[in-house]
Structure 1
Amino acid sequence: MTDDLNEFGDRLRELRAWRGLNMRTAADLAGISHAYWGYIERGEKAVNNRQVLEAIATAMRVAPFELTRKPHLPTDPETRGAQSRMVELIDVLSGYRVGERPDIQPRPWDQVVAESLELHLVHRPACAYATELEILPRLIKELLLYSTGGPHHAEALTHLIQVYDVVASLTGRLGYVGSPPLAIERMHAAAAELGDPQWCSAVDWVRAQTLSGTDRARQYELAVHVADSAPRERPEVFGMAHLTASIASAAQGQADTARMHLDEAAQIAELIEPDVSPWPLSMMVFGRTNVGIWKVSIGVELGDGPRVAETARGFDVSPISVSRQVAFWTEMGRGLLEGRRTRQAGLDAFKRADALAPQQLRNNHFAREAIANQLRHSRGDDGMARDVRYLAWRMGLAPTG
């Protein structure tokens, strides 16, 4: 493990110097105080929400990922092997368009479908990154072949859309920023070939969701368009579009708009019979539980801090996927760590996220900033200090636990 406790501040200082800006000018461009900028560069304060991160990135004329420097991966042999397989996945993603036929002998269709379902229903929800990277390159090639014609043409296209969504999500989480847009282009091509308005709208939502911190105003525009135009037969699509519009608004400091879209999503979730919709497989997991998780996330973004505990009181995340459970506990941890009396509860939330999917937690920039901030100010050898050191070690922020 490397000690990158102040990786964000060091990178920010490098960029500011490269731009030839003094600290006061840079802070003015970002719309934050000179003192706060100094605290960030020195590693004395954390960057704890999307609005500040994206304002700093805009001031430095870089994308947010250039400040966060993902991926942050463990150094165990299994993960190193998974990383080497990322090269193969990106080669397949860039090397084959929808409609092209890879020169391979595919497995029987029922075996291909079985592996696709296992990917969506087992590996992706469990954040099994290494397994996903192992099976994706071959699976994409086989689905491309089956999607070019024959009796399985339409079904192969629906599987292909969902597999490309896995690619967009996985490569985005791990910091391969050029790959998600390309995966979405492949999704659009497959949806266009399928010609189903419901799938086309679902892909339009993925595009809006994946845009993320690069252009929040455009993200909001795209999400609202999907919310207004998606076929009413699938409330999952326009429900998720409202959630995306909510986070886009919150990241721009528009609290009322964010909560309006959150309320819209909550009303739509009541139209879904199961608590978590199974359609489309692992793409959306829309429903009442997921809306509840987003409420916590939006609350953290809008500065609710420890008050998110009230939002989540009595909330059960067990019906939803492991990856969404990790999102819940991570957001809870971020909020609770902002209060002096709730810090241990915040650390406990992070520990729950780490136990479920450490690779997802360690690649969350805001979680890393929160733990790095705790480690800087941690004193003594009580249980809380030990928990901070343990989490810092698990996340690669300190050389020893």
Structure 2
Amino acid sequence: MYPFGRTYRQVMTTGEAPQIGTAIRRMRRWRGMTLDALAGLSGLSKGYLSRIENGRQAVERRSTLAKIANALRCSVGDLTGTFVPSGQGDSDVHAAIPDIQFALVTTSLDHTRVAPQRPVTELKAETARVADARQACEYVEVGRALPSLLVDLHATAVKGTGDDRHEALRCLVLACQVTTLLVRNLGEGLLAWNAAQRGCQAADRLGDPLWGGVAAFAYTQALISLGAYDEAHEHARQAAEGLRADDDKSIQVYGTSILTAGFCAVTAESGQADAEIAEARNLAQRVEHPNAFWLGFSTANVDLWRMSIALEAEDPVVAAEVAEQLAPETIPLRSRRAAFFIDYARSLAGLRRPDRDVVELLRRAEQLAPLRTRNNVFVRSMVTEMIERSRRDSGGRELLGLAERMGLVRTV
């Protein structure tokens, strides 16, 4: 047992990047729980848990993390941790987190201490620029721009009048979506949830189901990052029920909502998603101008959702088949292309394909989105497993280079 009075956060503060297996073992021991007890409470086998703890088994599903976290009476974030920056760019992004948090804590939609600093036309253009930058994986620029943008949008939403106020509220929904998706990828699940909540509050003030659906997407993503899959499923389902898919934009919000609902049902092991995927595919064929509200909805994006859903259903065969039929150049968004390579790598790892093939896909994802790739919980788990399995395989040099940049190994 650890010395009396030490919290789990203090035990986990080692100055090194977290490894999931290590975090699970530390939390289990801190709870005074045996591996047999954890197996019984989580419904997972003792051997499987032992391999995860020792880095010999990658965590392949979100539901696995949720089962372990529930058994250990902790959050998923306690097990996945926050990525430790390994380079200047990574550090710059993380340096923005306190300012983003301060911007949300010191503002509300009921009062503001500052007057609007920028005209609403400029705020609208800045919101679009930041949303574009996030999809282009320009996270440093996004992190720098968000704090002042959030403060200015709140000021106009509170003190503005008429159309200016409503435009500020619409922009705030989008800015909170950007904030949620950025900080979630940095391991800041609670901050993501707070940002998403603010976006939902802005949408409520607008009273428009379409904007409610946009805000609900960010909220469900925050809940997913916290392992609250049933709650995320319910919010996505309610958002879809409130929408009418009768124009280009509403089709995309509705399609994203049903895909999210299907994903959460599979992840929570409470349902299937075949019907949602089929319906979303039909809807995507009707879309004339993809990426409304920066949701990325398109035919190619439906395939990306299908891959993610298959992986959560423990079906790497389907995920790999979809990936092999999907040309990366047909995915216009840099952030989604990175997600494609990560999920493709997960499918090959699940099929026990050669490590060099998995590493090559992860390297391509890292080239597109370095921070997102290095901080991804499944990437970190796969890399740890490959390192433990062999440091001398044919993909060793690329693998060790990736692992070093992720802070999982250190060279001397």
TM-score (structure 1 length as normaliser)? 0.90
1:51-90 aligned at under 5 Å gives the runs 51-76=63-88, 78-90=89-101
Alpha-carbon distance change, 79 to 47 in structure 1, aligned in 2, over 3 angstroms = closer
1:127 aligned partner:
137
RMSD (Å), alpha carbons: 2.3
2:234 aligned partner:
221
d(CA) in 2 for partners of 1:3, 1:154: 45
1:250 to 237, 258, 266: 266
More displaced 10-residue stretch of structure 1: 289-298 or 259-268: 259-268
1:287 correspondence with 2:303: no
Contact 2:181 2:221 in 1 (8 A): no
TM superposition shift of 1:242: 1.5
**SS at 1:313 equivalent:** helix
1:207 aligned partner:
219
> Where in structure 1 are there 5+ consecutive unaligned residues?
none
Code of the residue aligned with 2:272 in structure 1: it is T
d(CA) in 2 for partners of 1:169, 1:260: 26
Code of the residue aligned with 1:185 in structure 2: it is Q
1:313 correspondence with 2:324: yes
**SS at 2:291 equivalent:** coil
TM superposition shift of 1:335: 0.9
TM superposition shift of 1:41: 1.8
d(CA) in 1 for partners of 2:288, 2:334: 21
Alpha-carbon distance change, 21 to 267 in structure 1, aligned in 2, over 3 angstroms = same
> Where in structure 2 are there 5+ consecutive unaligned residues?
1-13
1:141 aligned partner:
151
1:165 correspondence with 2:177: yes
1:263 correspondence with 2:278: yes
2:114 aligned partner:
103
Alpha-carbon distance change, 240 to 57 in structure 1, aligned in 2, over 3 angstroms = same
Contact 1:164 1:186 in 2 (8 A): yes
d(CA) in 2 for partners of 1:321, 1:337: 24
2:399 aligned partner:
388
d(CA) in 2 for partners of 1:180, 1:193: 20
Give the number of equivalent residue pairs.
Answer: 392
**SS at 1:399 equivalent:** coil
d(CA) in 2 for partners of 1:311, 1:3: 39
1:12 to 16, 24, 31: 24
Code of the residue aligned with 2:287 in structure 1: it is I
Task: Quote the sequence identity (%).
Answer: 28
Q: Deviations for 1:366-393, whole angstroms, at most 9, x for unmatched residues? A: 11100111111124363x1222212212
TM superposition shift of 1:291: 0.6
d(CA) in 2 for partners of 1:351, 1:369: 15
2:200 to 174, 185, 188: 188
1:24-43 aligned at under 5 Å gives the runs 24-43=36-55
d(CA) in 1 for partners of 2:18, 2:90: 24
Contact 2:81 2:187 in 1 (8 A): yes
TM superposition shift of 1:6: 7.7
Contact 2:19 2:380 in 1 (8 A): no
1:94 to 88, 105, 108: 105
Alpha-carbon distance change, 220 to 188 in structure 1, aligned in 2, over 3 angstroms = closer
Code of the residue aligned with 2:149 in structure 1: it is L
d(CA) in 2 for partners of 1:75, 1:335: 29
TM-score (structure 2 length as normaliser)? 0.88
1:350 correspondence with 2:362: yes
d(CA) in 1 for partners of 2:122, 2:217: 30
Contact 1:3 1:397 in 2 (8 A): no
Contact 2:263 2:273 in 1 (8 A): yes
TM superposition shift of 1:326: 0.8
Alpha-carbon distance change, 13 to 159 in structure 1, aligned in 2, over 3 angstroms = same
More displaced 10-residue stretch of structure 1: 206-215 or 15-24: 206-215
Alpha-carbon distance change, 162 to 341 in structure 1, aligned in 2, over 3 angstroms = closer
TM superposition shift of 1:331: 0.4
Code of the residue aligned with 2:253 in structure 1: it is V
Code of the residue aligned with 2:326 in structure 1: it is F
2:11 aligned partner:
none
1:197 correspondence with 2:209: yes
Code of the residue aligned with 1:312 in structure 2: it is A
d(CA) in 2 for partners of 1:47, 1:67: 11
d(CA) in 2 for partners of 1:329, 1:336: 11
1:397 correspondence with 2:412: no
TM superposition shift of 1:259: 2.5
1:179 correspondence with 2:191: yes
